[in-house]
């Protein structure tokens, strides 16, 4: 429905009145129906649910991730109603949803509108979309989908009978899961499927059956707890069929068996005993964590959506298949092809795939391997890219291989991100490599830089300069100009040929011509990635002291100087890393992979850094005392100052012996604050940290 907000809202109410009794949700930022609307940002909560009518108001802005999640909840025979401005107006006006890619200092209204223009074109050209226009008072109809040849109901639903597999595919998957759990051999199972094929339901049906057998401890993991809602619902349905009404998310035990959820990082760090591990939406979990689970557990099932918003399954297949082939060549794979929630060749599924490029793929391997001409680097023009769907699909298909959590929003950022540039390698007309880079820094306002350092401002974007300032203690880091590599990827058929290094060489040449100070990247620290970036001349400059909740890895920043000013900043960052690393490795980084730690130490060249002068780090100390810097980030300075000032502070009476003991325990012995708080009777880590800041202020009174 295309028209004014008022007219389309009235149209939505007409649809609801004409189709009473349908299970429905209205996603909007304004009241439309008699019941309250749900905000657009809540679309992820529809994962695993099933609707007959979804009303989506796009006057308040488009959310690619939410669109992908919400439309997957519509069952076959259901209806999606989009409320949009007229096409010409929609293409001209700033979309409120673009605020999420409007990095500082850009405002949403200044951004290009390529993504929305493409979305409008997809909706306009789709023969299955019914278009109702306010101005023309006309309806462009679409043919009704052909009935499903399977007979009976056109769209069988797993919710009609939750304890039986709905398709032969799903029945095979359930049987394979049970065989994996009951077998003696170490033979991992990998399930893949498009959305709506019953993959998660199969996991749940098998889990429920195993719980009824008794004595088995099952562990479930996924990128987010919400992603296993379907699994739990089907497991509970199996138990309910024999009279057992349990909420497995609260009561995880049944007799001598159990079903418990663990986050991926926690499961790797503290692996419990398990007779079977079920990994749902495995594409959204970093490959190193999946490999760790594979090494630890004998009976394990990995399930992944091939194209979806929980992670990109194609990248998962390529990366993880190589690990499986190397470690356990006898692994088993099953692909669920038959839809359950809707019919085959579903028009809505096809529309969503086109709109969000969920089925984008790199060029065929044969096409790039068969070419004889040399690859050439090319900066891509995004206006031209919008008109070249083949190249756009190849590009996005490559980029989704580069990261385990590529989302539909990344397509919008690629097309309209105001600080984004695209560098590609072409061969025989096809893309064989790509690099996505973001321009950051260049903040000339000293007040803004100070606010960033003290944690009072976090301008959208600008990851490298803000990390180096707020966590690395480099007050003027935001002044410098950076190009941050967001993604770098080479076609799987063309790897190990130096093409990634060639992309970075071309990037450096262009950066030097455009007076950029530093190139950089931020990623979860792994031996493989550190080796690659080191081989390309990049140096570690900062490491996070806490693990990423999703990846279980410590984020590391690597830099390569382009200008003389950039070289000076890089050397200062290295000096601080060299000074802090021994302290962090004994404290918050004590569980860091020793090989990674050795690589970081090896990367720090030059003589050991001198101890800081008494007044050298006043700004960082002030930021800590005022509560604007974490204890972990300031730990090297704090431990040095405790050693320097403790005796004098005790002698002068500025601090008491019990307070000195607290500083020693926290800053020299690296006791976890949570345990210290319990031992001292302080309510929580935050309260204890306030006490440490107050004592420290008196310790170094100036």
Give the tens place of pLDDT for each residue, 37-52: 998 888 877 866 788 9
Least Cα distance to 192 among 319, 49, 329, 337 occurs for 337
CB 157 within 8 A of CB 75: yes
Structure token digits, residue 429: 């007309």
Q: Do domains 5-140 and 168-336 have the same CATH topology?
A: yes
Sequence-distant (≥ 6) Cβ neighbours of residue 503 within 8 angstroms: 377, 423, 425, 433, 434, 435, 488, 490
The three-state secondary structure class of 437 is strand
Fold classification of 365-603 (topology level): Aminopeptidase (3.40.630)
Q: How far apart are CA 57 and CA 39, in angstroms?
A: 10
Q: Which helix (H) or strand (E) holds 257?
A: strand 257-261
- Give every residue of the chain whose pLDDT is below 50, as ranges: 146-161, 309-313, 609
CATH 3.40.50.300 fits 168-336, yes or no: yes
Rounded to whole angstroms, what are the CA distances from 455 to 470, 622, 627? 6, 12, 9
CB 154 within 8 A of CB 339: no
pLDDT at 615: 52
Structure token digits, residue 684: 């929580």
Name the CA radius of gyration of the chain, rounded.
28
Structure token digits, residue 498: 């130096």
pLDDT at 336: 92
> What are the sequence ranges of the domains in the chain?
5-140, 168-336, 365-603, 618-699
For 602-659, give the DSSP string: HH--SSPPPPPPTTTTHHHHHHHHTT-S-HHHHHHHHHHHHHHHHHHHHHHTSS-HHH
The three-state secondary structure class of 211 is helix
Residues forming a β-bridge with 423? 379, 435
Q: Is 595 one of the annotated binding-site residues?
A: no
Measured over the CA atoms of residue 609, residue 613, residue 618 and residue 621, the dihedral's sign is positive
Burial of 503 (0-12, 13-18, 19+ CB in 10 A): buried
The three-state secondary structure class of 196 is coil
Q: How far apart are CA 641 and CA 646, in angstroms?
A: 8
CB 85 within 8 A of CB 123: no
pLDDT at 150: 40
Give the tens place of pLDDT for each residue, 105-152: 999 999 999 999 999 999 999 999 999 999 776 565 555 554 444 433
Burial of 190 (0-12, 13-18, 19+ CB in 10 A): buried
pLDDT at 166: 80
Least Cα distance to 302 among 128, 256, 289, 237 occurs for 289
CB atoms within 10 A of CB 537: 14
Backbone angles phi, psi at 597, to 5 degrees: -60, -40
Give the tens place of pLDDT for each residue, 174-231: 999 999 999 888 899 999 988 888 899 999 999 999 999 888 999 999 988 888 888 9
Q: How far apart are CA 684 and CA 671, in angstroms?
A: 14
Sequence-distant (≥ 6) Cβ neighbours of residue 453 within 8 angstroms: 469, 470, 475, 619, 623, 628
Q: What is the pTM of this model?
A: 0.81
Pick the CATH number of 5-140 from 3.40.710.10, 3.40.50.1110, 3.40.50.11040, 3.40.50.620: 3.40.50.11040
Q: Is 341 one of the annotated binding-site residues?
A: yes
């Amino acid at each position: 429905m295309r028209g004014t907000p008022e007219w389309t809202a009235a149209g939505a109410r007409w649809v609801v009145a004409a189709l009473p009794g349908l299970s429905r949700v209205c996603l909007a930022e304004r009241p439309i129906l008699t019941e309250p609307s749900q905000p657009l940002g809540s679309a992820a909560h529809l994962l695993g649910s099933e609707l007959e009518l979804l009303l989506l108001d796009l006057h308040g802005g488009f959310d690619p991730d939410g669109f992908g999640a919400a439309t997957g909840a519509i069952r076959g025979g259901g209806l999606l109603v989009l409320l949009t401005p007229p096409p010409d107006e929609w293409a001209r006006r700033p979309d409120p949803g673009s605020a999420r890619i409007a990095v500082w200092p850009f405002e949403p209204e200044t951004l290009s509108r390529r993504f929305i223009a493409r979305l409008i074109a997809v909706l306009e050209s789709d023969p299955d979309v019914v278009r109702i226009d306010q101005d023309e008072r006309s309806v462009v109809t679409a043919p009704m989908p052909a009935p499903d040849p399977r007979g009976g109901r056109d769209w069988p639903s797993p919710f009609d009978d939750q304890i039986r597999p709905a398709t032969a595919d799903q029945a095979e998957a359930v049987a394979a899961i049970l065989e994996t759990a009951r077998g003696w051999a170490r033979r991992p199972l990998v399930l893949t499927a498009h959305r709506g094929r019953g993959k998660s339901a199969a996991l749940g049906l098998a889990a429920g059956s195993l719980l009824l057998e008794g004595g088995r401890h099952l562990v479930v993991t996924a990128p987010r707890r919400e992603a296993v809602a379907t699994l739990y619902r089907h497991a509970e349905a199996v138990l309910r069929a024999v009279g057992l009404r349990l909420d497995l998310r609260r009561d995880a035990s049944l007799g001598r068996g159990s079903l418990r959820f663990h986050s991926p990082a926690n499961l790797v760090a503290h692996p419990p005993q398990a007779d079977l591990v079920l990994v749902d939406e495995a594409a959204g979990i970093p490959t190193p964590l999946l490999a760790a689970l594979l090494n630890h557990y004998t009976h394990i099932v990995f399930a992944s959506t091939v194209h979806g918003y929980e992670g990109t399954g194609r990248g998962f297949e390529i990366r993880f298949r190589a690990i499986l082939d190397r470690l356990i060549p006898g692994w088993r794979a099953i692909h669920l092809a038959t839809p359950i929630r809707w019919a085959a060749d579903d028009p809505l599924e096809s529309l969503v795939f086109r709109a969000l490029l969920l089925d984008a793929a790199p060029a065929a391997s044969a096409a790039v391997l068969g070419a004889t001409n040399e690859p050439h680097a090319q900066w891509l023009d995004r206006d031209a890219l919008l008109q070249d769907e083949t190249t756009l699909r190849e590009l996005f298909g490559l980029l989704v291989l580069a990261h385990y959590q590529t989302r539909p929003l990344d397509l919008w950022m690629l097309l309209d991100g105001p600080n984004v540039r695209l560098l590609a390698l072409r061969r025989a007309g096809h893309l064989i490599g790509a690099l996505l880079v973001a321009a950051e820094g260049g903040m000339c306002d000293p007040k803004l830089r100070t606010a960033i350092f003290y944690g009072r401002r976090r301008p959208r974007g600008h990851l490298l300069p803000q990390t180096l300032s707020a966590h690395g203690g480099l007050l003027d880091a935001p002044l410098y100009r950076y190009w941050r590599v967001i993604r770098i990827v080479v076609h799987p058929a063309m790897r190990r040929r130096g093409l990634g290094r060639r992309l970075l060489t071309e990037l450096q040449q262009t950066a030097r011509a455009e007076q950029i100070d530093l190139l950089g990247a931020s990623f979860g620290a792994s031996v493989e990635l550190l080796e690659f970036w080191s081989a390309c001349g990049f140096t570690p400059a900062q490491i996070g002291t806490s693990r990423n909740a999703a990846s279980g890895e410590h984020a590391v920043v690597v830099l390569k100087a382009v200008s003389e000013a950039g070289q000076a900043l890089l050397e200062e960052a290295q000096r601080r890393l060299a000074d802090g690393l021994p302290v962090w490795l004994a404290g918050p980084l004590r569980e860091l992979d020793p090989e990674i730690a050795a690589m970081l130490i090896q990367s720090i060249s030059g003589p050991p850094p001198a101890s800081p002068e008494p007044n050298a780090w006043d700004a960082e100390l002030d930021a800590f005392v005022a509560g604007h810097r974490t204890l972990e980030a300031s730990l090297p300075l704090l431990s040095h100052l405790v050693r320097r000032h403790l005796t004098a502070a005790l002698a002068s009476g500025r601090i008491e012996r019990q307070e000195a003991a607290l500083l020693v325990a926290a800053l020299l012995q690296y006791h976890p604050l949570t345990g210290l708080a319990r031992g001292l009777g302080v309510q929580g880590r935050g309260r204890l940290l306030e006490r440490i800041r107050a004592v420290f202020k008196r310790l170094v009174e100036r």
